[in-house]
Amino acid sequence: MGITRGTIRIRYIFTSVHISSWRRIGEPMDRENGKTSDSSPRTELAKRLAGKVTLSSDVSDADIAGIEFETLVAKILGHFEGTEGFRLLDKALLFQIKEMKEEKSPDRIESPKVPQEAAPAKDIESRFSIRNADEMQTKGDVADFTAYFNDRLEKLREFFGNARGASLGSMLNRIEGVRQYANGREVSVVGMVYDKIVTKNGHVMATLEDETGSVKVLFIRPQKEGGREASVLFDSATRIVTDEVLAVRGKISGPFIIANLILWPDVPIRLRKTTEDDIAMAFISDIHVGSKLFRERQFSRFISWLNGGISHRKDLAGKVKYIVASGDLVDGIGVYPNQDKELSIPDIYKQYAVLFDFMDKIPDHIEVFLLPGNHDAVRLAEPQPPLTDDLLHDFKKDNIHFVSNPGFMTLHGLKVLGYHGTSLDSIIQAIPGCSYSKPEIAMAEVLKRRHLTPVYGDNPIVPGKKDPLIISEIPDIMHMGHVHRNGNADYHGTLILNSGTWQSKTPYQVKLGHMPTPALLQVYETKSARLSEVDFNFAEDAQ
Ligand SMILES: [Fe+2]
Ligand SMILES: [Fe+2]
């Protein structure tokens, strides 16, 4: 029997919109609402130009056929930029615009390869493996959703076995089973959170469900004399989010369980794992190549630094053996309305070409792992596959590896979990104490829940038969990006890292009051477990 949620239907309807957001290059799509269109090219173009340029009736589908759509829209809008009055795009003008020379790419900044005489990492052999997230095949029907949520519940329930189970009492009950007990009886259940509310008396009430039924669990607001334990429990209850799996112990009271303990799947406390070789790993994300705000000069300095061309922290540069880049490698196209105005390269292939130009200049002895993010041109729904061949064109280099999002890598014996971090938006919103200024706190909450997207729905995920976003293996390093702000912490022996960005503050971030940390590279020395920050905003003459 499947999980008995009335929620399946709601979740199905909600997410079926997202599953449709599988995308092909050139296919117009608005990622804000995940809609694609199957209307004719002419209708689609008219729609994209609506309110800005009127499409003349003499333009036919055949006139537009075979043209890279986003580039064409950018060219048309560029042509009319600054013009007043009625803007009409007729056939003659369309042909003229089609013939226009490609928009000039920004002047490239040289990041020369220089001989790197003192790079100890060169003499150390790399040891790595990659485990991509399973390609999920799904029809996105109700049965798939039921299977998906069941898998989430079953897998996460396993984490409450053994030692952790001991604190829950001798027996974990299935939810339907607790109804047979009298008031006052202590029970323990594991369930998925259907909802959480604050009652008018200020108590927290969560509905937990499993395959057999659902039950309401009350977390009583502590009285002043309630003591520390009561307030810790209540504080924990305020951090419960919908769709996560947790365990509670408590006493039966009529239709409720009055909780006295709450547990998340969590990771055990361990000592930080180190390597024998004195090497370093550099973590980057959110490069946003193609954005007008991409800090190309600073990124070029980073590449020069890897090549030994900058004296600042040259010692550290020589130790870098691995680089992990967790998503938003390019700025993309059509990610949000009017993005074209903020692009210096309005062509997705050219954005990747510039990125690979940089990658090409990274010394061969450094292994680089590239994951996609929500701005990259692969399927938006997670797990995202590695960058596809059509984006790579002929780019191929033995030390550059393409990984899924999330992606699991073992680098020199250390388990590294890379995830772009799109779910951090919903976590920051849902959990008190989490904020964009300290992404490491939200990331610790993710690890505690053993799930990369505990809150279902805000960022699209593929509801396959298995839940690929469960953190089944405990990572030594968990790396994310997406929030454009550096952060790090040790959580139970796992190094948590958010690697900020290489893009200046966007107008959107200004509006929301976010403070990004561009071009501050985090480098981790794996023998000494020392984390350093290298600032590539430093003055040019520091070279
Ligand atoms: Fe980003
Ligand atoms: Fe992102």
The CATH T-level fold of domain 276-537 is Purple Acid Phosphatase; chain A, domain 2 (3.60.21)
Which ligand lies nearest the alpha carbon of 499?
1
Ligand 2 centroid, distance to 394 Cα (angstroms): 26
pLDDT of residue 36: 38
Q: Note if the bond before 439 is cis, omega within 30 degrees.
A: no
**H or E element in which residue 491 lies:** strand 486-491
Cα(477) to centroid(ligand 1), Å: 20
Ion ligand 2 neighbours (CB, 5 A) are 328, 373-374, 482
pLDDT of residue 5: 53
Report the separation in Å between the CA atom of 126 and the middle of ligand 1, taken as the mean of its atom positions: 29
Query: What's the CA-to-centroid distance between 376 and ligand 2, angstroms?
Result: 9
Beta-bridge partners for 256: 216, 253
CA of residue 329 to ligand 1 center, whole Å: 8
Cα 503 to ligand 1 centroid, rounded to whole Å = 8
The number of the ligand nearest the C-alpha atom of 330 reads 1
CATH superfamily for domain 160-263: Nucleic acid-binding proteins (2.40.50.140)
Say what the pTM is.
Answer: 0.81
What residues does 191 pair with on adjacent strands? Answer: 246
Give, for all 543 residues of the chain, the pLDDT tens digit.
456 554 443 444 344 333 333 333 333 333 333 333 456 778 878 877 877 788 887 788 877 876 767 777 777 777 776 666 677 787 777 877 776 544 444 556 666 665 666 799 999 999 999 999 987 677 777 888 888 899 999 999 999 876 566 677 656 778 988 888 889 999 999 999 999 999 999 999 999 999 999 999 999 998 877 677 778 999 999 999 999 999 999 999 999 999 999 999 999 999 999 999 999 999 999 999 999 999 999 999 999 999 999 999 999 999 999 999 999 999 999 998 888 889 999 999 999 999 999 999 999 999 999 999 999 999 999 999 999 999 998 899 999 999 999 999 999 999 999 999 999 999 999 999 999 999 999 999 999 999 999 998 777 888 778 899 999 999 999 999 999 999 999 999 999 999 999 999 988 888 888 899 999 999 999 999 999 999 999 755 444
Q: What is the DSSP string of 10-28?
A: HHHHHHHHHHTT---TT--
d(CA 56, ligand 1 centre) in Å? 37
Å from CA of 422 to ligand 1 middle = 9
> What is the 326 CA–ligand 2 centroid distance (Å)?
9
Task: Give the strand pairing for 256-263 and 245-253.
Answer: antiparallel
CA of 506 to the centre of ligand 1 (A): 10
Ligand 2 centroid to residue 182 C-alpha, Å: 50
Residue 501 CA to ligand 1 centre (angstroms): 7
Bond from prior residue into 406 cis (ω within 30 degrees of 0): yes
Domain boundaries, the chain: 7-99, 160-263, 276-537
CA of 510 to the centre of ligand 1 (A): 14
481 CA to centre of ligand 2 in angstroms: 7
Q: How far is the CA of 47 from the centre of ligand 2 (A)?
A: 26
Q: Which long-range contacts (CB under 8 A, 24 or more apart) does 142-145 make?
A: 142/8, 142/9, 142/12, 144/463, 144/464, 144/465, 145/8, 145/11, 145/12, 145/15, 145/463
Cα(273) to centroid(ligand 2), Å? 29
Within 10 angstroms of residue 364's Cβ, the number of other Cβ atoms is 11
Taking the centre of ligand 2 as the mean of its atom positions, its distance from the CA of residue 373, in whole angstroms, is: 6
